[in-house]
Amino acid sequence: SFADVLFNSYTFNPERPLPLSEQEPLPKVWYSTSLTFAPNRRGTMNLHFGGYVYVQKKRHNRTMNWLCCKGSNTIKTRCKARVSTEGDNKIRFGTHGHNHPATELMAAQKVFHCVTKNVCDLGENFDELRFE
């Protein structure tokens, strides 16, 4: 019947997307992942993720907004990349990318797969990459 054909044409077979290391994350989409936080010299926390280091900007309700720390002293070379986090396992990327490469140590670990439209699981082990 027409209804069966229509239904079958919309049957969803989820496939694992490319690892994030092979694609750019979508901006303004929440991903579930392990996050690494480390204290800085001023006593506040930095976020270490995907080979980049972010500094705290502002808390808004349950989310914390972070700025890339690279070039933050000069406006001309400042990196405009931003992320937001919620708790210790959700991250959302801003619309601006980084204007500098990631550090090699963690850039190779930037692998996670989408499991739904808005939630992703990280396929990496941050235990080996903790900043003490």
Domain 14-129 CATH (choose: 3.30.390.50, 2.20.25.240, 3.10.450.50, 3.40.50.300): 2.20.25.240
The pLDDT, as a whole number, for residue 34 is 85
**Residue 17 predicted with pLDDT over 70:** no
0.85 surpassed by pTM: no
**Residue 43 predicted with pLDDT over 70:** yes
Q: How far is residue 65's CA from residue 22's CA, in Å, rounded to a whole number?
A: 25
Q: What is the DSSP letter of 76?
A: T
Phi, psi of 7 (to 5 degrees): -60, -45
**For 59-88, b where at least 16 C-beta lie within 10 A, e where not — what string?**
eeeeebbbbbbbeeeeeeeebebbbbbeee
Domain edges within the chain: 14-129
